[in-house]
Amino acid sequence: MTSARANIDGVSAEELHDVWATLAADERAEAFELLRAEEQADFFLNLRALGQAQILLGLPEPMRKTWMRILPPDDAADVLQEVDAKERELLAALLDDVARHEVNALLAYAEDRAGGLMSPRFARARPDMRADETIHYLRRQAHDRLETISYIYVLDAEQRVVGVCSFREIFSAPAHRLMREVMYPDPVVVDENLDQEEVAQNFLYYGYSSLPVVDADGRMKGIVTIDDIVDVVQEEATEDAQKFGGMEALDAPYFQTTFGEMIKKRAGWLAILFVGEMFTASAMGNFEDEIAKAVVLALFVPLIISSGGNSGSQASTLIIRAMTLGEVKLRDWWRIVRRELTLGVILGVILATIGVIRILSWQYAFGSYGEHYGLVAITVGVSLIGVVTWGTLSGSMLPFILRRAGVDPASASAPFVATLVDVSGLVIYFEVAKIVMRGTLL
Amino acid sequence: MTSARANIDGVSAEELHDVWATLAADERAEAFELLRAEEQADFFLNLRALGQAQILLGLPEPMRKTWMRILPPDDAADVLQEVDAKERELLAALLDDVARHEVNALLAYAEDRAGGLMSPRFARARPDMRADETIHYLRRQAHDRLETISYIYVLDAEQRVVGVCSFREIFSAPAHRLMREVMYPDPVVVDENLDQEEVAQNFLYYGYSSLPVVDADGRMKGIVTIDDIVDVVQEEATEDAQKFGGMEALDAPYFQTTFGEMIKKRAGWLAILFVGEMFTASAMGNFEDEIAKAVVLALFVPLIISSGGNSGSQASTLIIRAMTLGEVKLRDWWRIVRRELTLGVILGVILATIGVIRILSWQYAFGSYGEHYGLVAITVGVSLIGVVTWGTLSGSMLPFILRRAGVDPASASAPFVATLVDVSGLVIYFEVAKIVMRGTLL
């Protein structure tokens, strides 16, 4: 920590950002105060909610109010969601009445819903306003820190969205045209309770830079803008990557995650996988006699089962990612089965060829595998085709099964698929050996 | 395919989007023509470049020109990058002279550089223009399909960016203020050759919704907007996920990737991992005598090595993702070593405890492991602590080593780490066994 601290003494925003991730929670406010005054606001506003909360809690009382009030309501709500109940009350009390009201409304939503992402400060107009009136009206609203004026939402008397209009269009429209004539009617809206991952897919599909959020009665509550979506996409990709690596997703960046938290997130899955993998010991126990008769069989166990795991990991990562991007849907499962089955056989034949060449070469060079090396080669080759085909098929189907069961398909992690395939891989291998080697080695 | 075709006959944009990913390349133009005329433009503009190219090539000659000319220059350039040289010439000839000139300038950049992402149509002003003049000037420029007017860039006579100003600020500034007084001087810029992943990090760090792109002399060439960045973030996350699953990243969505391409992207890594894993056969060959004497040792081989692989996969996924997000830098390696070493030992002890309990329970219930079951339990327990610690450490360090060597750390895939750890895991296991069982089983 000392080295990082020495670096930030009297530094620029860029230098502070560079060491930010490595600072402990209680050092951040102190480091922030060392920043040049003219750079503080920009730096603060561009931090994630966690960092903003750490600064706010670390600052002396009188300075807190200034920094709390600089936050737009959606960001203020995110900050309050990062701290515990007592601190939440303390920080909320620093807001002015209007802002506190807005923030409390936002806090009613879960963080990962459309309502939790949105800003309540959007540009609005009435259907019977003229283009020049709208521009004039917006000029007044603009002082009020609107989230964006790129899109103006046209609301009826019940606050329902009846149309949308880009600022550019009003801007270049004749002054006397009415909003109802300029606007696009019935714009795409998202429900306030829609999951953030689906909100992101809406953005990607429609290509808009903001979308209105409505309640069950169609009343507009706020807007979600594309810059919030970039964060969502990054966050979801991080969660998926961590799940795919065989652990629970972390709630905070690496260095911000405590030691205890880290063990909790990792030990759970590791233990589950370990218990699952114990079946390999039972499976191999059933073939103890065969191993005792032909120890050479044991030598190829890691090679065989890892090939199944690797081909399964490839297949599951492909399908999980394609599902996240909406390229593959549940109903496509049969097309995938046919495709991956053929691919599995081809990949299996490729590995089997390499494996057989390896065994024959070592035999000629070192005589490693005894007089029945031909049977060993056949056993390994045939098993590889079976195990790789089976691994590819299981890896591609597991995400479908999980999604069907309502579980995030990203949980079909590389280690999970490998564990599933290991037991069946062993059974395939030893059963092939029993057939091929009957009457000779076994 | 027939079922998808039946579904899209006379459908809405939403329904077509729903089946879009499952349509073959040559069916897309036909499906597009079935769409209601008023929905075609929106649908077309929101497609990715690959889909746009497929439609353009599939449409009859006279319709092509309309659809080609509707594309903004950066999107037109992306389309031309998706098709082969002959088709590129054909499609480029459909553009008007101004657009073709812009598009050709963009084609000089690699797709994954700032220059390849940018739009040349940005809002500009001179330092000595007044706020009201700028608004008037923008109103004229707005007809010219500017990418965005949210930010106005102030350029000097040599086209160098001297300042930036949000539209909102000019809009609410007094009419007679000069741009040089309203603007923020010396804005953040990105070099035209900056890699798109770093461009995305700039966006996330600064929180802007657009950034100016400049050449080596500081002349402004275009802007990159946040909505292009969402695509970049998705694309990079997909590439990283596929690499982490142990394969080469695909160039196109799952169903758009040909069978041959799929084998090429998957067989390569699978074969490399297979050859690496062959060392397990050699390693086990060195312990053939031990296995022959104590077949019970072979039973736990899959359990031991998979535990190393799983803990390595967790560690590498954490570090790779933290590196992508800029949370962990190369210089942090020593902090990570200390943290992961301690974590590895703790996780190892947890698994060892479960493993020992399992062996003792099976022994009491079924007498599975003979009279020396205590030694078996000690061997397995001690090995697990060693293998999990080693797996965690290797998994966390491999991304550093790869990045140091100039390779994408995402290549430290779950299968790659598992393969590396398998050989050393076997050596640890059998060496522990030799010490623990000397004089009894061995």
A404-413 per-position pLDDT tens digit: 998 888 888 8
Give bridge partners of residue A190 from the DSSP assignment: A213
Which of B108, B136, B155 delimits the end of a domain?
Answer: B108
Residues B80, B140, single domain; the answer is no
Task: Report whether pLDDT(A330) > 60.
Answer: yes
Same-domain pairing of B280 and B422:
yes
Which residue among A142, A233, A254 sits closest to B234, beta carbon to beta carbon? A233
Distance from CA of A284 to the nearest CA of B (A): 5
Does some domain include residue A240? Answer: no
Q: A428 and A379, same structural domain?
A: yes
Domain carrying residue B49? 2-108
CA distances to A100, A109, A116, A381 from A86, rounded to whole Å, are 16, 19, 21, 65
What are the tens digits of pLDDT across the range A136-163? 888 777 656 677 777 899 999 999 999 9
Q: Could A209 and B227 be called an inter-chain contact, meaning their C-beta atoms sit closer than 8 Å?
A: yes
Last residue of a domain, one of B108, B142, B167: B108
Give the CATH number of the domain where residue A377 resides: 1.10.357.20
CA distance B90 to chain A (A): 27
Which element (helix H / strand E) includes B374? helix B373-404
Residue A295 located in a structural domain: yes
pLDDT at B263: 92
Mutate to test the interface with B, among A198, A321, A339 (most CBs of B within 10 A): A321
User: How many C-beta atoms surround the C-beta of residue A440 within 10 A?
Assistant: 11
Which residue type occupies A255? F
How close is the nearest chain A Cα to the Cα of B39, in Å?
12
pLDDT-based confidence at residue B1 (cuts at 50, 70, 90): very low
- Claim to verify: residue A279 and residue A426 sit in the same structural domain: yes
Residue B305 CA to residue B430 CA, distance in Å, equals: 12
Quote the tokens at residue B272: 């490399």
Does A115 reside within a domain?
Answer: no
Our CA-based measurement puts residue A135 at a distance from the nearest CA of chain B, in whole angstroms, of: 9
Is residue B144 in a domain? Answer: yes
> Which of B108, B136, B153 is the last residue before a domain boundary?
B108
Query: Residues A274, A421: one domain?
Result: yes
CATH number of the domain at B7, please: 1.25.60.10
In a mutagenesis test of the A interface, which of B47, B172, B197, B317 is the best target, namely the one with the most A β-carbons within 10 Å? B317
Residues B157, B163, B166, B172: is their CA dihedral positive or negative?
A: negative
Residue at B210 is within a domain: yes
Distance CA A141, CA A124 (A): 9
Task: Say if residue A264 is in the same domain as residue A333.
Answer: yes
Q: What is the pLDDT of residues A94-141, one digit of tens each?
A: 998 888 888 888 888 888 899 988 988 888 899 999 998 988 888 777
Average pLDDT over residues B381-400: 96
Together in a domain, A81 and A158: no
Q: Which residues of B touch A172 (CB under 8 A)?
A: 139, 142-143
Query: Is the confidence at residue B5, as pLDDT, over 70?
Result: no
> How does pLDDT run across A250-295, given as a tens digit for each residue?
888 888 888 899 999 999 999 999 999 999 988 998 998 899 888 8
Same domain? For B196 and B287 the reply is: no
Total number of domains in chain A:
3
| Whether residues B263 and B371 fall in one domain | yes
Q: Are residues B135 and B88 in the same domain?
A: no
Q: Are residues B274 and B186 in the same domain?
A: no
Among A70, A199, A254, the strongest candidate for a mutation testing the B interface, having the largest count of B CBs within 10 A, is: A254
Instruction: Work out the pLDDT band at A187, boundaries 50, 70, 90.
Output: confident
pLDDT of residue B306: 94
Residue-wise pLDDT for B165-204, tens only, equals 888 788 878 889 999 999 988 888 999 999 988 898 888 7
Question: pLDDT category, B429, cuts 50, 70, 90?
Answer: very high
Cβ atoms of B80 and B106 within 8 Å: the answer is no
Asked if B306 and A246 come within 8 Å (Cβ–Cβ), the reply is: no
Would you say residue B240 lies in a domain? no
Chain B hits for A247, CB-CB cut-off 8 Å, are 314, 317-318
Read off the pLDDT band of B145 (50, 70, 90).
Answer: low
Looking at residue B143, what is its pLDDT? Answer: 58
pLDDT tens track for B235-249: 888 888 899 888 999
Structure confidence by residue, pLDDT tens digits, A387-403:
999 999 999 999 999 99
> Are A289 and A330 contained in the same domain?
yes
Mean pLDDT to the nearest integer, B210-234? 89
Is A249 inside a domain boundary?
no
Reply yes or no on whether the pLDDT at B19 is more than 50.
Answer: yes
What pLDDT score does B197 carry?
A: 85
Q: Do B302 and A284 touch (CB under 8 A)?
A: yes
Q: Which residues does B85 contact at the CB level (< 8 Å), separation at least 6?
A: none
Q: ∠ at Cα A423 (A418, A424), nearest 5°?
A: 95
**Global pTM exceeds 0.95:** no
Q: Is A127 exposed, middle or buried (0-12, 13-18, 19+ CB in 10 A)?
A: middle
Average pLDDT of chain A is 87
Give the tens place of pLDDT for each residue, A28-37.
888 888 888 8
pLDDT score at A78: 87
Task: Measure the CA angle with vertex B218, ends B214 and B224; round to 5°.
Answer: 15
Share of chain B above pLDDT 70, in %: 97
B339 pLDDT above the threshold of 90: yes
Q: Would residue A297 count as lying in a domain? A: yes
